[in-house]
Structure 1
Amino acid sequence: MLYSEKELEKKLRAGCAVFYFYAADEALVHSAAQKALKFLQQDDPEVTVLDGPTPRVEEIVLAAGTISFFGGKRLVLMPMVRPSTYSDKDLQELCDTLSDTENAIFVLTSVVEESYGKLRPGKREKKLIAACEKLGYSVQINKPSRNALQALARQWAGELGTGFAPGAEGALLDRCGEDQFLLRNEIDKLAALSGYSIITTAMVQQLGTVTLDADTFDMVKLVAAGRLAAAQQKLRTLLALQNEPILITGALSSNYLTMYRVSLAKRSRRTLADVAKDFGYTGNWSFRLSEAESAAAHYKTAQLEQCLRVLRKLDIDLKSSKLGSDLLLQKALCELALTRSMPC
């Protein structure tokens, strides 16, 4: 079953005894569990938390059997349960305990492995999912789309009395990715910076968490657009922030390699989904590969091959040359810019 807030509210009002949330992202299951607990705590604010990937059955029985001080059913939270670490016998005992306990309401969460954008629960995970589905509410939470995340960012900003200037929420996602914990923390900081008025793209660039991959891709796009001076300024900023030259080079190489892959895919009439599957791109791969495809449009395939050779030489030089790393990086950016005019 897929998650919806309306269905969750329906199950909460129906008095289900078990709520199990699983997803590929911890933030997703944490958020859903907190919504369930907020509703359930109206009758009984006391919650017993059993931490750890494999709470012992004895602990669960003890927690569930304790009489609530407030007279209602005991709330038992089991965050980040990992069914794969239980033996078959212990997992069966866990399922039996969930089924037999009448004095408690259980809220469980798990992170499940994701492959090519789909959750791939193992045998034991499937068993717990089925058991919880039979006993109450067991639900898979998918990652929100980019548009949904932007809407969520606007919602969180609105709760703080703050708004986003056009395009600013997209710039924030580009910098901090899909981690909702990080996204919310960044919005809290940016709201304060804006004086709880309007968050602009400039504020995101000024204060937003620096992600090396995003910033190096900004350099790649500047070079591709023929804006070498702006790319060099971006490089100086990254170095001033004490990013390691080797890591900058690695991120540059990764971005150019992605551009090369999508360029070859286009020549072979293959889709971006094929690229994601063949090379293991996960998360918001559609946006990442679309951006790479746009940047790659400025180059011929042979020119991208030359870019990769430039970056390979840069990597070797950083490890062996006596020249300063900042000078080597600036030189490499100039060589990358020159490849756009290289005859093919």
Structure 2
Amino acid sequence: MQKLIFPVLLALLLPLIASWFAYPETHLPPDFGVFPPQYVADAPGFNLTVFCVIALAELLVLTLYFAPALFGFKKVPPAPRAKTVALPIWFWIGLAVTLFFWWLMWSRITIFGDLVYYAFTPMWWGFIFVLDGLAYRYSNGQSLFASKPKTFLMTAIVSLVGWYLFEYFNYFALGNWYYPNSTMPELSHQTIVIIFLLAYTTVWPAIFQWYTLLNTCPRLVSRFANGPKLSLNGNLLIIAGLVLLTLMVFWPYPLFWVLWIGPLLVFSGVLIRANIWSPFTAMAEGNWSPALLMAVSAMLNGFFWEFWNYGSAHPAQPVTNPNYWVYDIPYINVIHIFSEMPLLGYMGYMPFGILAWVIFIWAGKVFGFNSDLIKK
């Protein structure tokens, strides 16, 4: 158990220790601990070199998805499709909830009183049950909610704590994102905090529902099931992650991407070193499907995050969504889709999806719950 927990504690503590030296006057980054996080300072503007390097890296990843044979993947006959069943009742309830709160959040109508300020979370929970219902239909009645209710509940609990982990690291990155509407005079600070914590419960469940849905397509699963065997060293991953998280404190703008990659290296390294199954275990056997499908799941969900976020605060008045966020990403904050998210930022969801998964697997081992999302 110590081997599971100690590297994660170091990942949390080392940025604080580094801040003592990086900020000799305050010993902490600007506005550290202000919750929800607010605007800190303008990040560096557009840099063509950085933009091109990241764009080429993302193009390489897209090539892997669309032409896996170029990377050594061999064709695998897909498994038979599961029997299709009727959509469950919670799909229709979820659809009605999603549509109602989507309308409420975008219309910003206050005829239902303060309910408009809380629209974000029920809208997303409705959507989570829509996705679960679709997975249920195309997998012969198997879904997280129907087949693994305890695991489904734990996805929400881990999500609540897990997303705050990224808010914590975001302080050291000097605010890759912030929440300009979270100081509404209509709501007390305590109410705002509750609204945010409730919203955090939706992150992991939504991504995982996309993953279970994608796994109902055998051709997609088999597409990446026989590729190069990539075996990673857990100790090296942990060391690299800890070093990067420490250096991010001193160079937050050039290392803005460490916010996602550093924790991924640490948590993945911990699981590999402890011989606990993770998507990297499958990659070591040549099966890249778990990792690549989870990455796509997060990017698909990211589209809806940004779509619904955009419509909830444009035009800016009246402001009724305290969860609305704005990005301030260095060097690549151009070519926006849905106003806030820069084009290259969408593929940043991909490592985040895998990171959310390895955190969930890690939490399952530490706290003793079943973290399996589907049958392996």
Range class of TM-score, shorter chain: under 0.3
TM-score after normalising by structure 2:
0.22
Structure of higher RCO (CA pairs closer than 8 Å, 6+ residues apart): 2
TM-score by length of 1: 0.23
Higher-Rg structure is 1
